[in-house]
Amino acid sequence: MTLNARLLAGLLAVTLAGLTITGLVSALVLHGYLMHRVDGQLQATRDRAIARLVRPGLPEQGVAPARFVVLAVGPNGRVRVLSGDAPAPDRAVSEVEQLGTAGLAARARSLEPFSLPGLRAVARPWRNGTVVVASPLDEIHAAVRNLVLTEVATGALLLAMLTLLGRWLIHRGLLPLDRMAATAQAITAGGDLRARMPGPGHRTETARLATAINVMLDRIEQAFWARSRSEARVREFAADASHELRTPLTTIQGYAELYRHGALGPDELPDAMRRIEDEAGRMNRLVTDLLELARLDREAAVQPAPTDLVALARDAVADATAAAPGHPVRLEAPAELVATVDEARIRQVFANLLANVAAHTPPGTPATVRLAPGVIEVADEGPGMAPQDAARAFERFHRAEQGSTGTGLGLPIVAAIAAAHGGRAELLSRPSGGTIVRITLPEAPPADHMTGQVR
């Protein structure tokens, strides 16, 4: 059964129960009221009848209204009609005779009204007999019956009207749910995650439901596209990694086959071994960088602790100067700068950035390491990068220089370390000259406020 039908059935059931209870109560109240009024009239008529009977000279006929019957019952049980029009007296006489003298005497002593089949009566002892006043209940039964019939007809008409009106109102109230169901089916069938529930808002329950579902759909859509992008990146990463690994493997395999076929003479063998060693080293660096990126992609990739960034930068500058004496590096930093970072990862950032400067700038190109609260910068005065290369600098395996011996993972590792700390990495480069790589850590001040002293 549909929700529409259940609501309508419930509404009609509750209404029918209410009408039934109201009808029963009103019928009982009317019956009780009419019986109470008849009882009062019977008692008043009885008293008037006794008063007229005890006065000498008064006629015995006409002591009660026409619809009442006044009977005198002798000690021998003989019944005499004092007042009343046929056929009521005959019925009253028959019922009183069936009641018997003893039963009538007991009711007379109580002075309370009592019921006989189709009659209401009161009795009172008088002389050696009993005076009985009775009234037929036909009018009361007819009044109650007419009330019940009127209530049944009115209730049936009301239920019919309520069925039509309730069906329309319930359909109108559930129409937003039908629209939401149609939208949900469209999303399920067509896979259109951009579809949204109609009628969002906060005024009605259905509007709030539509709003909640739309929020959920927004999150589902975002999660779906994020997963799609992640899967695309994984596929691209796997393809790039396969391509990068294939080149040194092909070289090593080629030299191995040449050696196996005896194509390498004593003079060519040292050069072949050198090339094999170079390609093996390249593969080793590539695999090492891939493992590093995999570690950084996991949760808890960094273990922050209070660290002296100035000391780390000073060590990195010294190491870079020793490794590439032809690239002068200077440090601009405050006297002391402590940050909550992973020391090993930040050392790796300095090492990767300064190694890039040494690898991709001509000899003699100066570089500068700048430190400020929440900001690390490595700038060089080299030839700079083309805009299209600068835009892709943090993409994995992207290399601006064709034939470069690098893995194309140095800057992506730097960006991953920054992201693991809750920060970001950005690159500013001009083709006319100069490249800056800036690492911004959480709660870092604007870069315009970077000041420091030369060391």
Same domain, 288 and 312: no
Tell me, yes or no, whether 166 lies in a domain. no
Same domain, 395 and 273: no
CATH of the domain at 357: 3.30.565.10
| Residue 37 near residue 140, CB atoms below 8 Å | no
Same domain, 252 and 349: no
Least confident of 20-24, 257-261, 355-359: 257-261
Same domain, 401 and 367: yes
Tell me, yes or no, whether 182 lies in a domain. no
- What pLDDT shows up at residue 175? 80
* Helix, strand, coil percentages for the chain (3-state, nearest 5): 60, 15, 25
Tell me, yes or no, whether 423 lies in a domain. yes
**Percentage of residues of the chain with pLDDT beyond 70:** 86
- What pLDDT shows up at residue 455? 41
Q: How far is CA 130 from CA 77, 99, 107, 133, in A?
A: 9, 13, 10, 10
CATH of the domain at 283: 1.10.287.130
Decide if pLDDT at 271 tops 80. yes
Same domain, 272 and 213: yes
52, two tokens: 């007229």
Tell me, yes or no, whether 288 lies in a domain. yes
Same domain, 237 and 272: yes
Half-sphere exposure of 326 (CA within 13 A, CB side): 7
Listed residues 225, 258, 293: the one ending a domain: 293
Mean pLDDT in the chain? 82
> Hey, which residues does 133 pair with through a beta bridge?
70, 122
- What pLDDT shows up at residue 255? 83
Residues 123, 106: Cα–Cα separation, whole Å: 9
What are the helix (H) ranges across 55-137? 88-110
DSSP 259-310: HHTT---TTHHHHHHHHHHHHHHHHHHHHHHHHHHHHHHSTT----EEEEHH
- What pLDDT shows up at residue 149? 95
Task: Tell me which residue of 58, 78, 59 sits closest to 129, measured CA to CA.
Answer: 78
As for how many domains the chain has, the answer is 3
Domain that residue 78 falls in: 3-141
Q: What is the CA radius of gyration of the chain?
A: 54
Which range among 23-32, 49-58, 178-187, 258-267 has the greatest average pLDDT?
Answer: 23-32
- What pLDDT shows up at residue 405? 57
Length of the chain: 455
Tell me, yes or no, whether 174 lies in a domain. no
The model's pLDDT over 48-100, given as tens digits with 9 standing for 90+, comes to 887 777 665 545 555 566 678 888 888 887 888 877 665 667 888 888 888 88
Half-sphere exposure of 406 (CA within 13 A, CB side): 21
- What pLDDT shows up at residue 24? 94
Residues 257, 251: Cα–Cα separation, whole Å: 10
Which range among 122-131, 138-147, 401-410 has the greatest average pLDDT?
Answer: 138-147
Same domain, 279 and 351: no
- What pLDDT shows up at residue 401? 60
Same domain, 355 and 390: yes
Same domain, 306 and 266: no
Tell me, yes or no, whether 257 lies in a domain. yes
Same domain, 306 and 394: yes
Which band of pLDDT confidence, cut at 50, 70 and 90, is reported for residue 309? Answer: very high
Q: How far is CA 351 from CA 10, 359, 362, in A?
A: 76, 12, 18
Same domain, 346 and 447: yes
Backbone φ and ψ for 404, nearest 5 degrees, come out as -65, 145
- What pLDDT shows up at residue 209? 83
| Residue 126 near residue 101, CB atoms below 8 Å | no
| Residue 164 CB partners (closer than 8 Å, separation 6+) | none
Burial state string for 44-62 with b = 16 or more CB within 10 A and e = fewer than 16: ebbeebbebbeeeeeeeee
Which range among 34-43, 265-274, 383-392 has the greatest average pLDDT?
Answer: 34-43
Listed residues 123, 141, 159: the one ending a domain: 141
* Single-letter amino acid code for the residue at 161: M
> Hey, which residues does 126 pair with through a beta bridge?
129
DSSP type of residue 434: -
Tell me, yes or no, whether 360 lies in a domain. yes
Tell me, yes or no, whether 153 lies in a domain. no
The model's pLDDT over 156-182, given as tens digits with 9 standing for 90+, comes to 999 999 999 998 988 888 888 888 888
* 211 or 56, greater pLDDT: 211
Which band of pLDDT confidence, cut at 50, 70 and 90, is reported for residue 444? Answer: very low
Same domain, 419 and 379: yes
- What pLDDT shows up at residue 200? 67
- What pLDDT shows up at residue 330? 92
Reduced to 3 states (helix: H, G, I; strand: E, B; else coil), residue 72 is: strand
| Residue 35 near residue 96, CB atoms below 8 Å | no
Listed residues 110, 141, 172: the one ending a domain: 141
